[in-house]
C-alpha cells in the first residue's frame, strides 16, 4: 500500500514536471521573472483537510524546490478546529491547512493559537448534476437560486450526495451557503433566523440520498453507484467545484456532470496554509520553512499547476481560468459566513436535529464471550458517548439526533433481542437516557453468529421501510472475532441481491476477520473503520459522518 502510494507520487511528479513549460520540468529552477526561491530544510507538519491529499504531487515538487518536506495529516472539520483551540495541534503540528479558517476564528482565543495565514487556492461549493438531469431541469440554460434548487429537491426531481457538515468542510460550507441564500436578509445569518428556514431547508435535504464523512469517499461512492446501477444512483453532488471538475476530468463517469452555479451565490473555500503559534513560540527554521513553502505555492507557475492538477482556482489574482470554470454568464456573489459562533453552531446542530433526512441507524453488536472486560466497556463508552455524554465539539454534533431511529441488534450464539429507540423531534433527552441505560446493561457471553445477526438487521430494515421509507438507513457491524455460529459470508453474499440496498459500515476490532469485514463493506457500498489501534468511541464517532 505504502509502496504503491509512493510510486504514484513519483509518477505524478514526473507527469507534472513534463507538462510544466515555465520551469522546464525542474521545480527547483524558478520560472523566469518569478525571482529567487527561499530555501528551508526539514519538515513542515501540517494538519489538513482530507481533500488536500490531491496536492501530493505539487508538494513533492515543493520539496525539491525548497528543501522542505510538507507532511499532511488528514482531519475533519470539527476535530481539526477542536485540536487547534485546545492547543493540542501545536504539540504535534507546525501548521494547519483547512478549507477555510472562518469557523475556527469564531472560537474565542483561536487567534492566539495561529500565526501567519496564506491563501493557496479557492473553490466554491456548487451543485454538480448529471448532464441529462441538469438539462431536464432547464439548469443548463437558466441558473437556479438555492431556493429553486431546494424546491426541485423537495419534489424529488433529482437526488444528490453531500458530506456531513459536522465531519467535513464541504458539507459545512454547503449548509452555510444554502442557509445564507435562503435567509436572503442581505446580511450574515444570525441564530434566530435559522428556525424559520426549517421547512425550506428540509425540502432541500429531502433530495439528499447519499452522505459521507469525507469528500473523497463521497465522490468514490457516486462513481461506484453510477457503474453498478446506471441511472439509479444519486444524480449529483453538492460539493466543491474542484471535486465535480476533477470527476469530470477523471474519465470515471460515463455521463459528465454539469456544474450548476446558484444565481444567488456560493460559499468559497480559500485554503489558507496557516502557521500555528506553537506551545512556546515558533522555531526560526519553522518560520523559514513556512515562508519557503507558501512562497513556492504562490508562484504564478505553481498556481497554474494547482489549477491544472486539482481544479482549484488560483489564489493569486490576474491568472486566467481554464474554460471549464464557470459560470459563463452573470455574477457569482460570495454569500456571507456567520460572524458569530452561536449562529454557526446553531446551524450545525439544526442540521442533525431538524433539517436532514432523518436517519435509521442499526447497530449489529457482538456480545460474544471474547468481548468481556475492556472490550465491552469500550463498546458501552462508545454508545454512551453518542447519547450526549461526549461534550467535546465533535462529540456534541455526533450524538444521536432528533427524529433518528436507533436500532440495536445484539448477538452472540444467536441474534438477541432487537431494541428500537425512536428519538423524538424536540426534547431528545429522555430517549437518549434510555439508550444510555440500555448500553450500560450490555453483557458478553457465548459464540459469534455474525451473519445471522446481519440478516436480522436487514429484516428490520425491510419491515420498517414499508411504513416509513424516507430515511437515510445504514448498518454498523461490530465483531471482535471469527464467525463461530450460523450463516457464513458466502451465504450472505448469495442472499444480498434479495436484500434492500443498505450500506454496512464494519469495524475492524480485536481478532475480527479483516478480509471478511472489508468484503461486507465493499459488497454493500459501505466502508470499514479500523478500531484495532484507535478506540471504539473514536470509530463510532467517525461513522456518524456516514449515517
Binding residues vs another protein (CB under 8 A): 35-36, 38, 102-103, 105-106, 108, 111-112, 115-119, 122, 180, 184-189, 264-265, 270, 275, 277, 281-282, 284, 287-288, 291, 295, 313-318, 331-334, 336-341
Distance, CA of 38 to CA of 66 (rounded, Å): 7
38 or 389: CB nearest another protein: 38
Report the DSSP pairing between strands 121-130 and 268-269: antiparallel
What gap in Å lies between CA 449 and CA 485, rounded to an integer?
4
Which lies closer to another protein via its Cβ, residue 5 or residue 35? 35
Task: Kindly state the smallest distance separating residue 286's Cβ from another protein, in Å.
Answer: 11
| Cβ closest to another protein, residue 103 vs residue 546 | 103
Pairwise CA distance, residues 536 & 450, whole Å: 18
Output the smallest distance, CB 163 to another protein, in A: 20
For residue 423 the three cell numbers come to 428519538
Which residues, 6 or more positions from 345, have their beta carbon under 8 angstroms from its beta carbon?
none
Residue 231 or 331 with smaller CB distance to another protein: 331
Tell the smallest beta-carbon distance from residue 60 to another protein (Å). Answer: 24
What are the φ/ψ torsions at residue 290 (nearest 5 degrees)? -60, -45
Given 3-state DSSP classes, what are the helix, strand and coil percentages for the chain, each rounded to the nearest 5? 45, 20, 35
- The CB-of-285 to another protein minimum distance in angstroms stands at 11
Indicate the residue among 119 and 130 with the shorter CB distance to another protein: 119
Closest to 422 in 3D by CA, of 402, 399, 395, 397: 402
Nearest to 360 by CA among 410, 422, 419: 422
The C-alpha atoms of residue 230 and residue 224 are separated, in whole angstroms, by 10
**Least separation, in Å, of the C-beta of 147 and another protein?**
12
Cα dist from 120 to 30, 40, 90, 537, whole Å: 18, 19, 21, 35
**From the centroid of its chain, how far is CA 324?**
25
Distance of closest approach, residue 19 Cβ to another protein, in angstroms: 24
Q: How far is the CB of 455 from another protein (least distance, A)?
A: 49
Cβ nearer to another protein, comparing 154 with 327: 327
Based on CB atoms, which residue is closest to another protein, 123 or 547?
123
User: For residues 343 and 439, which CB has a smaller minimum distance to another protein in the complex?
Assistant: 343
Tell me whether residue 298 or residue 527 sits nearer to another protein (CB atom).
298
Q: What is the DSSP string of 389-401?
A: I--SHHHHTTSPP
CB of 258 to another protein, least distance (A): 20
Closest distance to another protein from the beta carbon of 182 (Å): 12
- Quick check: helix, strand or coil at residue 410? strand
d(CA 71, CA 272): 16
CB 36 within 8 A of CB 78: no
Amino acid at each position: 500500500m505504502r509502496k504503491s502510494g509512493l510510486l504514484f507520487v513519483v509518477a505524478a511528479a514526473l507527469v507534472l514536471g513534463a507538462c510544466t513549460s515555465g520551469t522546464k520540468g525542474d521545480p527547483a529552477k524558478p520560472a523566469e521573472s518569478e525571482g529567487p526561491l527561499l530555501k528551508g530544510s526539514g519538515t513542515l507538519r501540517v494538519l489538513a483537510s482530507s481533500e488536500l491529499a490531491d496536492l501530493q504531487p505539487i508538494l513533492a515538487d515543493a520539496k525539491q524546490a525548497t528543501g522542505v518536506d510538507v507532511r499532511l495529516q488528514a482531519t475533519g472539520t470539527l476535530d481539526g478546529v477542536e485540536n487547534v483551540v485546545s492547543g493540542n495541534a501545536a504539540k504535534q503540528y507546525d501548521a494547519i491547512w483547512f478549507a477555510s479558517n472562518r469557523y475556527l476564528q469564531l472560537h474565542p482565543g483561536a487567534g492566539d493559537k495561529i500565526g501567519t495565514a496564506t491563501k493557496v487556492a479557492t473553490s466554491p461549493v456548487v451543485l454538480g448534476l448529471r448532464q441529462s438531469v441538469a438539462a431536464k431541469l432547464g439548469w443548463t440554460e437558466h441558473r437556479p437560486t438555492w431556493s429553486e434548487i431546494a424546491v426541485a429537491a423537495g419534489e424529488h426531481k433529482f437526488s444528490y450526495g453531500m458530506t456531513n457538515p459536522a465531519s467535513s468542510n464541504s458539507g459545512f460550507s454547503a449548509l452555510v451557503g444554502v442557509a445564507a441564500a435562503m435567509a436572503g436578509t442581505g446580511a450574515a445569518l444570525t441564530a434566530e433566523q435559522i428556525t424559520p428556514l426549517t421547512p425550506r431547508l428540509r425540502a432541500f435535504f429531502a433530495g439528499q440520498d447519499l452522505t459521507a464523512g469525507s469528500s473523497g469517499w463521497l465522490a468514490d461512492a457516486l462513481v461506484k453507484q453510477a457503474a453498478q446501477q446506471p441511472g439509479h444512483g444519486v444524480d449529483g453532488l453538492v460539493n466543491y467545484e474542484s471535486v465535480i471538475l476533477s470527476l469530470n476530468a477523471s474519465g470515471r463517469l460515463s455521463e459528465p456532470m454539469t456544474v450548476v452555479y446558484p444565481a444567488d451565490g456560493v460559499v468559497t473555500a480559500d485554503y489558507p496554509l496557516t502557521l500555528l503559534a506553537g506551545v512556546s513560540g515558533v522555531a526560526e527554521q519553522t518560520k523559514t520553512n513556512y515562508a519557503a513553502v507558501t512562497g513556492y505555492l504562490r508562484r504564478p507557475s505553481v498556481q497554474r499547476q494547482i489549477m491544472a492538477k486539482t481544479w482549484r482556482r488560483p489564489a493569486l489574482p490576474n491568472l486566467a481560468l481554464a474554460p471549464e470554470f464557470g459560470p459563463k454568464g452573470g455574477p457569482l456573489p460570495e454569500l456571507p459566513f456567520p460572524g458569530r459562533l452561536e449562529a454557526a453552531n446553531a446551524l450545525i446542530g439544526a442540521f442533525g436535529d431538524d433539517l436532514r433526512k432523518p436517519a435509521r441507524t442499526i447497530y449489529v453488536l457482538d456480545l460474544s464471550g471474547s468481548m468481556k472486560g475492556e472490550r465491552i466497556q469500550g463498546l458501552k463508552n462508545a454508545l454512551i458517548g453518542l447519547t450526549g455524554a461526549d461534550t467535546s465539539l465533535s462529540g456534541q454534533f455526533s450524538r444521536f439526533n432528533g427524529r433518528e431511529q436507533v436500532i440495536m441488534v445484539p448477538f452472540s450464539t444467536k441474534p438477541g433481542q432487537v431494541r428500537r429507540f425512536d428519538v423524538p423531534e424536540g426534547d431528545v433527552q429522555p430517549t437518549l437516557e434510555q439508550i444510555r441505560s440500555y448500553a450500560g446493561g450490555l453483557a458478553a457471553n457465548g459464540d459469534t453468529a455474525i451473519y445471522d445477526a446481519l440478516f436480522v438487521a436487514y429484516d428490520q430494515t425491510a419491515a420498517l421501510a414499508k411504513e416509513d421509507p424516507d430515511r437515510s438507513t445504514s448498518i454498523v457491524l461490530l465483531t471482535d472475532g471469527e464467525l463461530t455460529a450460523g450463516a457464513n459470508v458466502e451465504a450472505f453474499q448469495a442472499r444480498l441481491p434479495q436484500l434492500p440496498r443498505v450500506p454496512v459500515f464494519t469495524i475492524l476490532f480485536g481478532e475480527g476477520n479483516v478480509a471478511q469485514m472489508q468484503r461486507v463493506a465493499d459488497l454493500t457500498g459501505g466502508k470499514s473503520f479500523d478500531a484495532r489501534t484507535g478506540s471504539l468511541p473514536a470509530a463510532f464517532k467517525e461513522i456518524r459522518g456516514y449515517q
